[in-house]
Amino acid sequence: DADVTQTPRNRITKTGKRIMLECSQTKGHDRMYWYRQDPGLGLQLIYYSFDVKDINKGEISDGYSVSRQAQAKFSLSLESAIPNQTALYFCATSARAGTEAFFGQGTRLTVV
Amino acid sequence: GENVEQHPSTLSVQEGDSAVIKCTYSDSASNYFPWYKQELGKRPQLIIDIRSNVGEKKDQRIAVTLNKTAKHFSLHITETQPEDSAVYFCAAGGSQGNLIFGKGTKLSVKP
């Protein structure tokens, strides 16, 4: 089945380290998103991309950067991780505006 | 930018009762309103959605209503069952085509 795959699934890293979370999809969707989930705060949009040449900041982009390497790949980087970036991160894709977003399994990141 | 408010944050009902979750949005240009269910340890999954040209949509025990004038939309679950226990998120499709989510409602259905 076409899916959205995130790697790694779990990661523990130290404060100040650079870390990259990867997302790949086999759905053939142009639109890709990165969300952060904290308890009680819902899903907050970090960055989104509508095609390979399009990158947009979301609600909480500070401290994060992204790269859209291909239609199927969208990576999220933390240049210098800090403890309050400890969270569950989800990648999602959609075919176009106004259609269902499909989520990856999530990456649980812990910054110590 | 778009802002989505969701209430209540927690909801506890008895099995068989109805549950209602309400959301408001700020961007009058929003035209797509999905609802997602997230079971413990799982990814969010779409359960129902509605577009701005429709006032109500129903799928078995779940229904969504939309009031564009008031910028309100609601999820209604009837005849709740223990497997309905989960976190539910509303979202609004912004004018730029992104999706902004509410903070979620943790629904507990007691047998």
pLDDT at A110 over 70: yes
Question: Do B34 and A101 lie within an 8 Å CB cutoff?
Answer: yes
Q: Which amino acid, A55? A: I
pLDDT tens, residue by residue, B67-95: 999 999 999 999 999 999 999 999 999 76
Please answer whether residues B29 and B94 qualify as being in contact, where contact means their C-beta atoms are separated by less than 8 angstroms: yes
- Both tokens of B40, joined, read 């413990």
- CB under 8 Å to B53, separation ≥6 — which residues? B31
pLDDT of residue A3: 94
The per-residue pLDDT for B95 is 67
pLDDT at residue B98 in the model = 87
State yes or no: pLDDT of A94 exceeds 90.
Answer: yes
Does the CB of B88 have a partner CB in chain A at under 8 Å?
no
SS3 B82: helix
Task: Count CA within 13 A, CB hemisphere, residue A70.
Answer: 8
CA-CA distance, A46 to B3, in Å (whole number)?
14
- pLDDT grade, residue A10 (50/70/90)? very high
Angstrom distances, CA of residue B40 to CA of A43, B25, B85: 15, 26, 9
Instruction: Give the model's pLDDT for residue B2.
Output: 82
Q: Which of these ranges, A1-15, A62-76, B92-106, has the smallest mean pLDDT?
A: B92-106
* Mean pLDDT, rounded, for A60-75: 96
pLDDT band of residue A39 (cuts 50, 70, 90) is confident
In this complex, is the C-beta atom of B29 within 8 Å of any C-beta atom belonging to chain A? no
Per-residue confidence band for A97, with pLDDT thresholds at 50, 70 and 90: confident
| Beta carbons of B89 and A42 less than 8 Å apart | yes
Give residue-wise pLDDT tens across range B17-67: 999 999 999 999 999 999 999 999 999 999 999 998 889 999 999 999 999
Q: How many angstroms separate the CA of residue A104 from the nearest CA in chain B? A: 7
Contact, A107 vs A11, CB < 8 A?
A: yes
Helix (H, G, I), strand (E, B) or coil at B103: coil
- For residue A50, list chain B residues with Cβ-Cβ distance below 8 A: 97
Q: What's residue A109's pLDDT?
A: 97
In this predicted structure, the answer to whether residue A1 has a pLDDT above a threshold of 90 is: no
Q: How many CB pairs under 8 A join A and B?
A: 57
Chain B CB contacts of A48 under 8 Å are 98
CA angle B49, A75, A105 (to 5 degrees): 50
Residues facing residue B4 across a β-bridge = B25
* B96 contacts in chain A (CB < 8 Å): 56
Contact A7, A19 (CB under 8 A): no
Rounded mean pLDDT of A51-72? 95
> Residue type at A80?
S
- Interchain CB contact of A60 with B (< 8 Å): no
